[in-house]
Structure 1
């Protein structure tokens, strides 16, 4: 009876992930709860699952990468991809992204490079954005920390054997895969659509600022003032004596009382504080930019049809609007004079009484709290970059464990202010913790009930020298299919216990099968929904699903064949 229930839990988990692939944490949590409720795992199993050293390494690495994102390192990468010709731009993009993704967070690398790609007037962004995501996936196959998938499999391997992957365990196979697959990516890149203006600038927030009379920027050109080199913020308009200047040229000279309208990422608004005499226009009162809240104006709100100036916003809500966004429409003019519409997004600087006001819920849908991104500079930037590089190098040469190095680094980053409590709260990977911890617990349940042994018997997968290769290929293909249907992390978590048990049951060296699962779970090329960077470029490049399928099929096939061939060459199917 226990086996039947456990099989139902396992199968139901797969089906639920296919149906609700955007809610993998909830699905795995439900599977864990049922497994624990029926007594298939002990309390000791639960504790071991959620405090697995490999899992803690994954969480610490993701937190340490937050500090790296606050430095100029990733921004420096953006300067390496600009070129006038397509082949050279493609080559620079691939090399930069692959190297960056091998050691840094893939999502951060891709999100940083999307902007300069979209702003290249010579080459349509749609010709480069899919290669960008594919390069990030390839780069993740080079090192242990290349992707969260690698670290998830590492967590489960540690749980099984007490030892994880070496830092460069994947590198030999990864280099072969990159060399072969990059050629196919270059070929399919020429088949990508040439979509002009694949940009969503109308989705950016509009931020209203003014030059104070004593500003040192007065008399300087926009270029000289440094307003052309902001990260993710663009000077789109100057209002001078009721006259609008747009577009703004680099040679435009700034004059007293100019109103400067910026468009871009609201999280980068703190950059504007660094310019002398440039003040964000809010209202007649002073505000502290400690807490930002994003809201949407409800249909039927009494402020619809009015302007911020007339509605007495500050007194009514104990909040001040510093930015506005309207989907599908590019906004012009002063923030306080825009007529508000239902569905407008506002970013508010909120006071202490904001959440206590009864009229807030009547007028707004509150989306989230926002934190202006604070960049690191000086010795803090050196500590964040140097500490991260030192930790990786030390772990790579075996001077200390990655766990110890990251633990010490995180303490230093928090003690010196490179990481704040808000950084930890906003970026702590609760979902990954739940997915991996629950998956490890689920694998304990499969083992404790003898379900894995029975599943192997049902599948008639007794390994020998004749069918070992076919079983390995079958596991790889099944993992790829799961990756495209669910997510790469979920596929790896589900397939690891099956692959490991099949290998050990047949007396084979498990590493061959484990690497097959790891590389197969990174084969996320066909569906834009199977990997986060795919989804990011899917939206940014205005692609259709067919664009991904046409490009992804040959890339996925090439990646899979080269990965399997390299795995078998470097890790032969050896009977222990």
Structure 2
């Protein structure tokens, strides 16, 4: 019975991850709870997985990242990257981003560098930002702490055999591959599209205004009201009594409380407020100022999948959404009632205390210079960098456990007032904690029910006479596919138990299989959704999904072949 229940749970989970919009965290938690309720795992096992040593190390690293994101070096280095020659600028991006992402949170690295690169004096953002994201992904494969995926795989391995992965396990395989793919990024950078601001981001915002109930526009036609002659704004649709009128005819009569949805240049939003009888939400709320704040919705934000209205956006952030950009396309519907997505680019009119709100960093990547990012001073930054390097050296040489070093580092940051208890509470990675611990529970249920054993035993006869390396190739490719479909962390959580069971059944070293899962789960180059850094640069560079496929395909192929060759050379030769 447990075998059938485990099979049903796994099949349902994979289907929901691929087909539904429910977050991976919730789906894994539901699967883990189902395993608990049906008796596939015990209560003691369920709670034991929440304190897995590798998972605790991951959580400590992510909390340390709250302080490390404030290092001053990122901003300083980003200003040295730009060059009139595209190949030189791309080479500098790779040279700076790869080592930074090997040591720091790559999402923070990309957010910081993208803020400067999108204002390059010599190149449009679409030529620079995708190489930035890919370089951050490559850097994350070099060390144990380069990406959360590596630590997730390490926590699974530690759960199974008592010891996880080390720093040297990654660099020895991925180092040469990162060098080759980094050079390929430079060579292919000219293949990226040129999307000038006039044809890119500024033209693709969705803005909204309302016809005042007692205003002079009521009863006038769209053409008579002058709404067809706005040079940089286009009236895309009218929302009226639950209906959408599109395309909008010049003779369409305006009625009280009509919502007018425009597309165009967000810098001209003030023009809408200057039209008598028409007002934006920000103007009605008294938030419209001379400067607007630009933000990206962060992966894992509470806004993801919910509407501004349902969340009480104004009360929560003291801000109003003036404009929205998504995938370089017009987004139909009312701004307040549109389900928001991670990666959406928002322009906000903000109140006086917006920059002081405690929930900004968890929900937004702020791209405006107006908001204080609380960077360390150079002396503190130098001390923090030295402390981080010391922790890494001690862990890499085996002199001290990584978890102990990170705990001491975090305590030092707290004692030095680099981070506060409020900072740590707001940024505690509950999503990662729940996802990984739930995945550990699910893996235990799959193993105890003998589902994994059955799956592996059905594959082994097919590979009889072949080397176990062929099985590793299959594990790598399936994980790579899942990464593009269900995000990197979910792909690693799904594939590790299968990879481990295959290696165990074949009687071979499990290490290359664990690394194959880690490297494949980080190899997201074909879509904007598999990796957070790809999502960050999507709207900033006005990239389409086709851009990721065209530019990312040769990168993905080279990366995959390189990793598999290195795994064969190190572990099978």
Cα pair distance change 1:25/1:512, threshold 3 Å? same
- Contact 2:40-2:448 at 8 Å conserved across structures: yes
Cα pair distance change 1:397/1:328, threshold 3 Å? closer
1:327 aligned residue: 323
Counterpart CA distance in 1 for 2:464 and 2:560 is: 23
Could you report, residue by residue, the CA deviation over 1:501-550 in whole angstroms, capped at 9, with x for unpaired residues?
Answer: 11011110111111111111111000111111111111111111111111
Worse-matched range after superposition: 90-99 or 341-350: 341-350
1:305 aligned residue: none
- Contact 1:461-1:471 at 8 Å conserved across structures: no
2:43 aligned residue: 43
1:557 CA drift (Å): 1.1
Q: Does 1:18 align with 2:18?
A: yes
1:519 aligned residue: 519
Could you report, residue by residue, the CA deviation over 1:310-360 in whole angstroms, capped at 9, with x for unpaired residues?
Answer: xxxxxxx99997x7652169xxxxxxxxxxx98995434579xxxxxxxxx
Q: 1:387-402, aligned counterparts within 5 Å?
A: 387-402=387-402
Cα pair distance change 1:200/1:427, threshold 3 Å? farther
2:528 aligned residue: 528
Counterpart CA distance in 2 for 1:100 and 1:538 is: 21
Cα pair distance change 1:550/1:72, threshold 3 Å? same
1:151 aligned residue: 151
1:460 CA drift (Å): 3.7
Counterpart CA distance in 1 for 2:167 and 2:21 is: 30
- Contact 2:292-2:348 at 8 Å conserved across structures: no
1:469 CA drift (Å): 2.2
1:95 CA drift (Å): 0.9
1:361 aligned residue: none
1:435 CA drift (Å): 0.9
- Contact 1:525-1:552 at 8 Å conserved across structures: yes
Cα pair distance change 1:175/1:201, threshold 3 Å? farther
Counterpart CA distance in 1 for 2:390 and 2:541 is: 36
Cα pair distance change 1:464/1:170, threshold 3 Å? farther
- Contact 1:384-1:418 at 8 Å conserved across structures: no
Counterpart CA distance in 2 for 1:130 and 1:87 is: 14
1:491 aligned residue: 491
Q: Counterpart of 1:327 in 2: which secondary structure?
A: strand
Q: Which of 344, 347, 352 does residue 350 from structure 2 map onto?
A: 347
Counterpart CA distance in 1 for 2:167 and 2:106 is: 17
1:456 aligned residue: 456
- Contact 2:149-2:489 at 8 Å conserved across structures: yes
- Contact 2:177-2:559 at 8 Å conserved across structures: yes
Q: 1:44-123, aligned counterparts within 5 Å?
A: 44-123=44-123
1:129 aligned residue: 129
Q: Counterpart of 2:191 in 1: which secondary structure?
A: coil
- Contact 2:90-2:185 at 8 Å conserved across structures: no
Cα pair distance change 1:571/1:425, threshold 3 Å? same
1:174 CA drift (Å): 1.1
Cα pair distance change 1:82/1:490, threshold 3 Å? same
1:427 aligned residue: 427
- Contact 2:126-2:192 at 8 Å conserved across structures: yes
Counterpart CA distance in 1 for 2:203 and 2:102 is: 30
Q: 1:82-231, aligned counterparts within 5 Å?
A: 82-197=82-197, 198=200
Cα pair distance change 1:160/1:201, threshold 3 Å? farther
- Contact 2:499-2:517 at 8 Å conserved across structures: yes
Cα pair distance change 1:415/1:569, threshold 3 Å? same
1:22 CA drift (Å): 6.1
1:290 aligned residue: none
Cα pair distance change 1:483/1:31, threshold 3 Å? same
Cα pair distance change 1:46/1:296, threshold 3 Å? closer
Could you report, residue by residue, the CA deviation over 1:185-212 in whole angstroms, capped at 9, with x for unpaired residues?
Answer: 23432211101125569989xxxxxxxx
Give the alignment's TM-score, normalised by structure 2: 0.72
Counterpart CA distance in 2 for 1:345 and 1:110 is: 22
1:559 CA drift (Å): 0.8
Counterpart CA distance in 1 for 2:129 and 2:549 is: 15
Counterpart CA distance in 1 for 2:49 and 2:481 is: 26
Counterpart CA distance in 1 for 2:544 and 2:524 is: 17
Gaps of 5+ in 2: 207-266, 268-288, 297-305, 326-334, 338-346, 355-362
- Contact 1:318-1:350 at 8 Å conserved across structures: no
- Contact 2:479-2:491 at 8 Å conserved across structures: yes
Cα pair distance change 1:117/1:379, threshold 3 Å? closer
- Contact 2:86-2:190 at 8 Å conserved across structures: no
Counterpart CA distance in 1 for 2:64 and 2:205 is: 30
Worse-matched range after superposition: 458-467 or 412-421: 458-467
Q: Does 1:441 align with 2:444?
A: no
Counterpart CA distance in 2 for 1:406 and 1:342 is: 41
Cα pair distance change 1:296/1:550, threshold 3 Å? closer
- Contact 2:32-2:439 at 8 Å conserved across structures: yes
Counterpart CA distance in 2 for 1:522 and 1:320 is: 33
Q: Counterpart of 1:326 in 2: which secondary structure?
A: strand
- Contact 2:469-2:572 at 8 Å conserved across structures: no
1:380 CA drift (Å): 4.3
1:415 CA drift (Å): 2.3
Q: Aligned residues, how many?
A: 451
Cα pair distance change 1:187/1:375, threshold 3 Å? closer
Counterpart CA distance in 1 for 2:524 and 2:21 is: 14
Could you report, residue by residue, the CA deviation over 1:451-507 in whole angstroms, capped at 9, with x for unpaired residues?
Answer: 111121233458666241221111111111111111111111110010001101111
- Contact 2:156-2:440 at 8 Å conserved across structures: yes
- What is the Cα-based RMSD across aligned positions, in Å? 3.4
- Contact 1:98-1:138 at 8 Å conserved across structures: yes
